[in-house]
Amino acid sequence: MPVQNADIAATFEKIADILEIEDANPFRVRAYRTAARLIRGLSHDLSGMVNAGKDLTELPDIGEDLAKKIVEIVHTGHCSMLKKLETQIPPALTELLQVPGLGPKRVRTLWHELDVETVSQLAVAAREGRIRTIPGFAEKTEAKILQALQDHTAALHRFPIPIAARDAASLVLYLQGIPGVKQAVVAGSFRRGRETVGDLDLLVAAERGRQVMDHFTAHKDVAEIISSGPTRSTVILHNKLQVDLRVVKDEAYGAALQYFTGSKEHNIAIRRMGQSKGLKINEYGVFRDKERIAGETESSVYASIGLPYIEPELRENRGEIEAAVSGHLPNLAELGDLRGDLHVHCQSSQSLRVMADEAKNRGFEYLAVTLRSSNADPKRLDKFMAEIDAINGAMEEITLLKGIEVQIEKDGNLDLPDNVLRSLDLVIGGLFGHFDLPRERQTTRILKAMDNPHFSILAHPCARLIGTRGPIDADMSRIIRHARDRGCFLEINSRPDRLDLMDIYARMAKDEGAEMVVSSGGNSPEDFDDLRFGMQQAKRGWLEKKDIINTLRLKELRSQIAKTMGR
């Protein structure tokens, strides 16, 4: 199929967008926009003209340079200049331009001032009121962005966890405050720690359901009541998130929680096991004939079929029931097991101190600050080292490690020379471009990066951005085995739009005997909160304390890393 005029116009629009984000010469930007508009309005096909050997510069506003690009696009289907430009900015950045009210200038400012690179990061920044703090962004702008994002998120159907988490926390608190409510919790996929949720499932134990429902549907965040009865209601919040509420009596609370936590596949398997023992298991309890024999707690439901309690993160019918039967359930790692964070960024010496203080307050023993390789010119690197030494000299309770985050280049080389890497305690490497290489090349690229003797941690190995960019096409099982053999560690990055390693690969890595690290990947003190999402992902991957190296004491951690780095 020949290249359409619309494709060529879109390519030029995209070039103009990126140039404008990069603050390029406005005349250059305008040349691409003008050409795009002209091409869209043409009545004849450019590909036909190219193939007929016509001189394109005879068209208004098309010079030598643009003509050459059109020929390239018609012949090859792509534009090498655009490909090059795309590697210069975070890949999701141009998607921010789709948000009504955001032009390239604003996108650039949000990126530089707030580190906002994706739509979900924009949502979090808007919700936290950080956008209004930038000069030129009024409170009204922030509200407009928020509204636009809510429409955008609704279109995605599934909600990112941090947004659901806020609504969940505030609704649970609200429900707990209603007279007569004994318990209020979140069930469903949220409780199982999935990375996105379709809707929120809330469960309340109370005697009088009608009263609870009336309070619930009157909540200020409720935009629309889909249905409301004495035991079940469904509402839509202003941000388009659907919330289901079930009210049950105390004696059925455990059975209802087990049922509404799911997953459906897990429940079906549990119900079958019950049937084989002559039991009926449903959301009201466990019954033998008409007699209720369990249901007050979740544990009682599992115990009725001879099983130990199964953690919600495992309930996907991925072997957890068999493991429970044979007594081989994992002893899952907990957030409290983490003794430090090995991947955070700091913008200034001041924020370095703030991060160190916060890490100490959270009871961490160590914190690796990872300078971005793009900021690692000799002068800044020296300053960074000196600042860390100064803080380590002044603070007793916590040790800062000198880390660096390097980019894995297209050919698998790291973007800093070995003599620089040698001077650091920790080298993290990740993919920041060329996400669409074919499988074999992508895989060998990563294997080669890990072979660098200074390489210690593979950051966000799948390089996906939830809701924006899918995982790279690579042979994860080979990457995992290589990491194990080489002694490198695989990161579970806790940023809510990354959550990468994904649960299935964390599980594969554990099974293969590779070791992992759960990192916040944060830029500010609050970002340590995200570790809970990373730990949920770890639990969904069946990880135990021994699978996660940042549960080690500093001394053991140091010797592990030193071994990896051949020191």
Interface with ligand DGT (CB under 6 A): 188-189, 194, 197-199, 201, 259-260, 262-264, 267-268
Q: How far is the CB of 34 from ligand DGT (least distance, A)?
A: 46
253 is in the binding site of which of ligand DGT, Ca ion, none (Cβ under 5 to 8 A by kind)? none
Q: How far apart are the first and last CA of the chain?
A: 56
Q: For residues 57 and 234, which CB has a smaller minimum distance to ligand DGT in the complex?
A: 234
Q: How far is the CB of 187 from Ca ion (least distance, A)?
A: 8
Which residues in the 214-253 window bind Ca ion by CB under 5 A? 244
Which residues in the 156-195 window bind Ca ion by CB under 5 A? 188-189
Quote the DSSP letter at residue 129. Answer: T
**520: CB partners within 8 A, 6+ apart:** 341, 343, 344, 494, 495, 527, 528, 530, 531, 534
- Closest among 390, 378, 379, 382 to 352, alpha carbons compared: 390
**Residue nearest to ligand DGT according to CB distances in the complex:** 262
Q: Reduced to 3 states, what is the DSSP secondary structure of residue 248? A: strand
Q: How far is the CB of 257 from ligand DGT (least distance, A)?
A: 10
Q: How far is the CB of 464 from ligand DGT (least distance, A)?
A: 18
Q: How far is the CB of 203 from Ca ion (least distance, A)?
A: 11
Q: For residues 264 and 372, which CB has a smaller minimum distance to ligand DGT in the complex?
A: 264
504 is in the binding site of which of Ca ion, ligand DGT, none (Cβ under 5 to 8 A by kind)? none
Question: Is 552:563 a contact under the CB 8 Å cutoff?
Answer: no
Q: For residues 242 and 349, which CB has a smaller minimum distance to ligand DGT in the complex?
A: 242
Q: How far is the CB of 325 from ligand DGT (least distance, A)?
A: 19
Q: For residues 157 and 553, which CB has a smaller minimum distance to ligand DGT in the complex?
A: 157
Q: For residues 37 and 277, which CB has a smaller minimum distance to ligand DGT in the complex?
A: 277
The answer to whether 201 contacts Ca ion (rule: CB under 5 A) is yes
Q: How far is the CB of 533 from ligand DGT (least distance, A)?
A: 15
Q: For residues 225 and 385, which CB has a smaller minimum distance to ligand DGT in the complex?
A: 225
Q: For residues 51 and 227, which CB has a smaller minimum distance to Ca ion in the complex?
A: 227
Q: For residues 137 and 260, which CB has a smaller minimum distance to ligand DGT in the complex?
A: 260
Vertex 542: Cα angle to 540 and 548 (nearest 5): 105
- Closest among 331, 306, 329, 333 to 319, alpha carbons compared: 329
The owner of tokens 């000196």 is 386
302 is in the binding site of which of ligand DGT, Ca ion, none (Cβ under 5 to 8 A by kind)? none
| Radius of gyration in angstroms for the set of CA atoms belonging to the chain, rounded to a whole number | 27
399 is in the binding site of which of Ca ion, ligand DGT, none (Cβ under 5 to 8 A by kind)? none
Exposure string over 50-75, b if 16+ CB within 10 A, otherwise e: beeeeebeebeebeeebbebbbbbbe
The answer to whether 475 contacts Ca ion (rule: CB under 5 A) is no
Q: Where are the alpha helices (DSSP H) in 128-263?
A: 139-156, 161-176, 188-191, 209-217, 253-261
Q: How far is the CB of 245 from ligand DGT (least distance, A)?
A: 12
Q: How many residues does the chain have?
A: 567
Amino acid occupying residue 255:
A
Q: For residues 13 and 201, which CB has a smaller minimum distance to ligand DGT in the complex?
A: 201
**93: CB partners within 8 A, 6+ apart:** 21, 107, 111, 117
Q: How far is the CB of 260 from ligand DGT (least distance, A)?
A: 5
Give kind and range of the element (H or E) at residue 26.
helix 26-41
The structure tokens listed for 189 are 């996929």
Stretch that binds Ca ion, among 199-207, 295-303, 425-433, 539-547 (CB under 5 A): 199-207
Phi, psi of 197 (to 5 degrees): -125, 145
264 is in the binding site of which of ligand DGT, Ca ion, none (Cβ under 5 to 8 A by kind)? ligand DGT
The structure tokens listed for 566 are 């051949």
Stretch that binds Ca ion, among 178-186, 201-209, 383-391, 555-563 (CB under 5 A): 201-209
- Partner residues linked to 243 by β-bridges: 200, 235
442 is in the binding site of which of Ca ion, ligand DGT, none (Cβ under 5 to 8 A by kind)? none
**Residue nearest to Ca ion according to CB distances in the complex:** 188
Q: How far is the CB of 504 from ligand DGT (least distance, A)?
A: 17
Which residues in the 442-461 window bind Ca ion by CB under 5 A? none
539 is in the binding site of which of Ca ion, ligand DGT, none (Cβ under 5 to 8 A by kind)? none
- Cα–Cα distance measured from residue 533 to residue 539, given in angstroms and rounded to the nearest whole number: 10
Return the percent helix, strand and coil in the chain, to nearest 5. Answer: 50, 15, 35
- Closest among 199, 183, 233 to 213, alpha carbons compared: 233
Q: For residues 248 and 463, which CB has a smaller minimum distance to ligand DGT in the complex?
A: 248
- Closest among 109, 120, 141, 125 to 21, alpha carbons compared: 109
- Cα–Cα distance measured from residue 414 to residue 416, given in angstroms and rounded to the nearest whole number: 6
Q: For residues 158 and 481, which CB has a smaller minimum distance to ligand DGT in the complex?
A: 158
Q: How far is the CB of 172 from ligand DGT (least distance, A)?
A: 16
Q: For residues 233 and 407, which CB has a smaller minimum distance to Ca ion in the complex?
A: 233
267 is in the binding site of which of Ca ion, ligand DGT, none (Cβ under 5 to 8 A by kind)? ligand DGT
268 is in the binding site of which of ligand DGT, Ca ion, none (Cβ under 5 to 8 A by kind)? ligand DGT
The answer to whether 529 contacts Ca ion (rule: CB under 5 A) is no
DSSP output for 356-403 = HHHHHHTT-SEEEEEEEGGG--HHHHHHHHHHHHHHHHH-SS-EEEEE
Stretch that binds Ca ion, among 39-47, 196-204, 400-408, 427-435 (CB under 5 A): 196-204
Q: How far is the CB of 296 from ligand DGT (least distance, A)?
A: 19
Question: Is 426:403 a contact under the CB 8 Å cutoff?
Answer: yes
Q: How far is the CB of 252 from ligand DGT (least distance, A)?
A: 15
**Contact residues for Ca ion, defined by CB under 5 A:** 188-189, 199, 201, 244
